[in-house]
Amino acid sequence: MQTLIHNTTIVTADDAATVHQNAAILIDESRIATIGPSAELLTQYPEAERVNGRDKAVMPGFANTHTHLSLTLARGIYEDLSPPHKPPFEGGLAPLPLPVLIDGEHRAMCLLGAVEAIRSGTTLLLEDAVDIHRYAADLAASGLRLQFCERAWDRAQAGIGQPGPFEVEPRLAQQGLERIEALHSQWHGHGQDRIRVGLAAWAPDMCSPGLLRALREQQERLGVLATIHLNQMWGEMAAVRGLRGVEPTTYLSQCEFLSDRLIAAHCRCMTSAEEQLLGQSGAAVAFNAAIAARRGLSPRIAELETHGCTIAMGSDNMAEDMVEVMRTGLFMERVRRQDGRHPTPDEALGWATRHGYRALGVENAGWLAPGNKADLILADVHRAHLVPFLRPVSCFVHQGQARDIESVMVDGQWLMRDGRVLTLGEETIVREAGRVARTAWRRLFETRPDLTPPAGMTLSG
């Protein structure tokens, strides 16, 4: 089966930032067959299914290299409850616990995140979570390209960023290692390799040296990707210094956990020496710009990149909108560098697409070229905020919105077409997730009268 998107603008996001005007792209099964002048390809491939790309732009899909889909549950709440940047540190991501979800409820929130991901043009997504097997089949059916990272830790009675003793719980470590093994044997390589399974160490202050070494051994044996929350907050920095006498990245280096198959999420609160150490290892950084901005923190992207890290992007908590993530990353880094020209929109687009695919080890994908995987999006650029579309990349990175994206393809299959998500029941999922979240938060405050709902929270309706 061949699909020809013609009379369109093609933003390849390749290394040379090539953009083709009046062009066409031919998709043959799961691959991009060719890109060329529209008139030529229309004559050459009369049998292909035609998609008129007039007033639209074709771009590679986004790679979200760090998210937790079920945290859509904390949307509108946790964004404003970030941990302090100065002592006293308490631990945890917010001073309010998350409501406990039962299986069906958990699935509803994850699917909500998947719908939003597809709507914002995501084609590849790394999910870092516990018990991914509970909703792996639902996510697989969404058609997204997925990197599951099942999480392990072995610190009992404490949260991330919490000072104090490290109480090792070997049973937690064992369970984590077993969950990773089980998910790997069940899902790795499924969907013609569209689904891969790796591992996640939670964070440096939640993992003992013994567990980090065991995870590294498991990673090598399975030949998979690893991820970790690294230098996420100042409380973590203080906790690791207190527990190990060194900074978090140095601690990981001592435990031999750093590698070029590691995605280090955040890297916001770190020393220059740590940036160098991480760069030398060849690890990738998930630049989670939107959540970083909400927390009032920023990684030093230029320094990390100079030292050798691959910069990719992620949404992390509460939102899955990669268009917003990409633009926020560009803005934050310009403010931090006090430079109104750098990074360029082409760089930001590269972080959000090509670099993310490279970081997750998905070869021949993440930019548009003949032979590459057909993971792409179609955006309507005939819109008040995008006209004139004279410099396509700059225009979309600075002004584009998730709602401009009307079609999404992974492995040559449409997940969304003309604004309609084809692989998930969007209307039912959105309604169900809204109901589940209200019920869960109401249940939390009913069973915990000691907790006060944050200002402005409405639980009725």
For the bound state, the minimum distance from the C-beta of residue 66 to Zn ion, rounded and expressed in Å, comes to 6
Site residues (vs Zn ion, CB under 5 A) = 316
| Alpha-carbon span 107 to 330, nearest angstrom | 33
Residue whose CB is less far from Zn ion, 11 or 291? 291
Residue whose CB is less far from Zn ion, 179 or 229? 229
Residue nearest to Zn ion (CB): 316
Report whether 292 contacts 319 (CB < 8 A). Answer: no
From residue 119, alpha-carbon distances to 38, 96, 113, 358 in Å are: 27, 30, 10, 22
**At what angle are helices 103-119 and 426-447 packed, to 10 degrees?**
130
Residue whose CB is less far from Zn ion, 12 or 227? 227
For the bound state, the minimum distance from the C-beta of residue 316 to Zn ion, rounded and expressed in Å, comes to 5
Residue whose CB is less far from Zn ion, 316 or 324? 316
320, 123, 61, 262 alpha-carbon torsion, rounded to 10°? 80
Residue whose CB is less far from Zn ion, 202 or 396? 202
For the bound state, the minimum distance from the C-beta of residue 377 to Zn ion, rounded and expressed in Å, comes to 24
58 CB burial (10 A radius; 0-12, 13-18, 19+): buried
Residue whose CB is less far from Zn ion, 45 or 202? 202
How many distinct helices (H) and strands (E) make up the chain?
Answer: 16, 19
For the bound state, the minimum distance from the C-beta of residue 366 to Zn ion, rounded and expressed in Å, comes to 22
Compute how many other C-beta atoms are within 10 angstroms of the C-beta atom of residue 21.
10
For the bound state, the minimum distance from the C-beta of residue 251 to Zn ion, rounded and expressed in Å, comes to 19
For the bound state, the minimum distance from the C-beta of residue 141 to Zn ion, rounded and expressed in Å, comes to 24
Residue whose CB is less far from Zn ion, 143 or 176? 176
For the bound state, the minimum distance from the C-beta of residue 93 to Zn ion, rounded and expressed in Å, comes to 9
Report whether 324 contacts 102 (CB < 8 A). Answer: no
Residue-wise DSSP of 59-117: EEPEEEEEE-GGGGGGTTTGGG-PPPSSSSP--SSSSSPPPP--HHHHHHHHHHHHHHH
| Alpha-carbon span 396 to 386, nearest angstrom | 7
